Structure 1
């Protein structure tokens, strides 16, 4: 019995030593020094401690995303940000100029209530009867209080042709809307002719279609006899650099 236990202990020690040796080799192969190795071990220790000892269930993805976000924020650089996979997907959808969903723009107030702050023209949400000011309380029966804001957005979006049930509160009354998702095209450019033949073009963001939308708006204003032009970039968060250049 003692011999078996001894063999098990030896096998465990060999496995641990082998794992550490492999980790050290990989770490040095990547060009890190000894201090970097110990920093990595600190991170792994903290990660495992939280994973095993925290009173509530934890998400591996959330822990890693939080750690990476913390590293980037420690740079104190306003131009450096970490985008989680969900945030990156949302950014790509915005810059591509289209996504599948119901065509509403959501916002969160100071009390963390989610409201509809915009409904796109000819969108499924508009056709179903959603209005600006509606408070979204649940998506497919799940309360939004149980989800982060980006999770709510992810649940509202989905494959074209699929249904989603949006529960809202309007004038104190709760209502359910069953809405069929569709491909939503984001319009990033609006234009109109002001007094004295002054053309006005507003660019909300820069996506793949912005350059062509701008050219179409400019041509339309020219055809109306535009003599001068105002380009409005207020509240524009940016977007694709290539679109700006075009």
Structure 2
């Protein structure tokens, strides 16, 4: 009798857990698939009754939620437990403890560097866009989630983390021992070029919640000094907030579409908000320019508001939405793709620059760590050359 009561209690617990999960995620549609529901309830019941490893109801719910998201086979969609969710929010605000890398899960489930942030431990050590991070503190990264990788790389400032990297052209693997620090990155920096004082050089390192305001400030300060052309540097900019991208693009493109957001059941066109600067513009891009960077550069290219110089961009044309859940957790889900003003889908394709100029790998780190170098940087030189033909 006691065994029967225990079994019944376990089955009721399993059904309750499963009902909570499916009520939240599938609703009425779940009722059309009773066979699968029964199988899932049985799995939960067997785990509770037979598994030697103890597991709580909350652990089962988290595991089931993560499994459902995993079935999408989308590296950008994930269930976020409270700690990774908190880290993500800190990152979007522009301040966190870590090494300063944006990573993506590329083909063959390789953890690949999209770009290192300027002035961070990762960039100073020489990690480059396109590097494959094979291990983090000895843990293999193949099939590791992006959130798990970020969690391993982030940590208390002053502590160390070892990244084992493979790079094309590099013999064997290379270990980088990095000391974590507070990554607090002003997203916009600007100055007049030293040898071309009528050209403003503006570097946007990421798109965070303050980027639009920071760009306003930089443009005002440089405007007081006077400039006749702009170089907008989006190289190794991994993206960030959509709203920030809209604010930046609105400064440069004429009235009209900036981006088309294609969701499951509707398409929304987001428009420029005015501000279209009436000066010649060149935008520098490379393989580390991703996501929000591609929204801005795609809008500028399609509207002919400026000329893109450099290398093909990364090719991330997907939009993620974060849905907070109870208990401090969240669901990060790919909910849309975006198209450029001319309705070009750039996902996994990237944006080709108007003028292709490659940056030799041996110069990439040196140039990224220094102020704009008008002598050594071939992409910047080409931008200046183009602007010189347009500035009156």
Give the alignment's TM-score, normalised by structure 2: 0.42
| Pair 154,15 (structure 1): closer, same or farther in 2 beyond 3 Å | closer
| Pair 191,90 (structure 1): closer, same or farther in 2 beyond 3 Å | same
Q: Distance in 1 between matches of 2:42 and 2:231?
A: 58
Partner of 1:135: 132
Q: Distance in 2 between matches of 1:39 and 1:208?
A: 43
Partner of 1:76: none
SS at match of 2:142: helix
CA deviation string 1:183-205 (max 9, x = no partner): 11234335465989575756565
Please say if residues 191 and 202 of structure 1, whose CA atoms lie closer than 8 Å, have aligned partners that are also in contact. Answer: yes
Q: Map 1:1-246; keep pairs closer than 5 Å.
A: 5=1, 45-51=38-44, 52=46, 60=60, 61-67=62-68, 84-85=79-80, 88-145=85-142, 147-170=144-167, 171-191=170-190, 197=198, 206-226=207-227, 239=241
Give the superposition deviation at 1:221.
Answer: 1.6
Please identify the structure whose Cα radius of gyration is greater: 1
Give the superposition deviation at 1:243.
Answer: 10
SS at match of 1:127: helix
Q: Distance in 2 between matches of 1:196 and 1:129?
A: 31
Partner of 1:78: none
Give the alignment's TM-score, normalised by structure 1: 0.61
Partner of 1:77: none
Structure 2's unaligned 5+ residue stretches are 48-52, 248-392
Give the superposition deviation at 1:215.
Answer: 3.2
CA deviation string 1:46-92 (max 9, x = no partner): 43334448xxx99732322344788xx9xxxxxxx976225644541
Moved more, 168-177 or 158-167: 168-177
| Pair 193,40 (structure 1): closer, same or farther in 2 beyond 3 Å | farther
| Pair 68,177 (structure 1): closer, same or farther in 2 beyond 3 Å | closer
Give the superposition deviation at 1:225.
Answer: 0.6
Please say if residues 158 and 180 of structure 2, whose CA atoms lie closer than 8 Å, have aligned partners that are also in contact. Answer: yes
Please say if residues 47 and 63 of structure 1, whose CA atoms lie closer than 8 Å, have aligned partners that are also in contact. Answer: no
Please say if residues 103 and 146 of structure 2, whose CA atoms lie closer than 8 Å, have aligned partners that are also in contact. Answer: no
| Pair 204,66 (structure 1): closer, same or farther in 2 beyond 3 Å | farther
Structure 1's unaligned 5+ residue stretches are 74-80
SS at match of 1:218: helix
Please say if residues 114 and 129 of structure 2, whose CA atoms lie closer than 8 Å, have aligned partners that are also in contact. Answer: yes
| Pair 49,127 (structure 1): closer, same or farther in 2 beyond 3 Å | same
Give the superposition deviation at 1:172.
Answer: 2.4
Please say if residues 105 and 119 of structure 1, whose CA atoms lie closer than 8 Å, have aligned partners that are also in contact. Answer: yes
SS at match of 2:173: strand
Moved more, 187-196 or 206-215: 187-196
User: What is the aligned length?
Assistant: 218
CA deviation string 1:80-136 (max 9, x = no partner): x97622564454123211111111222343233233332223212233343344321
Give the superposition deviation at 1:240.
Answer: 7.7
| Pair 172,114 (structure 1): closer, same or farther in 2 beyond 3 Å | farther
Please say if residues 203 and 236 of structure 1, whose CA atoms lie closer than 8 Å, have aligned partners that are also in contact. Answer: no
SS at match of 2:108: coil
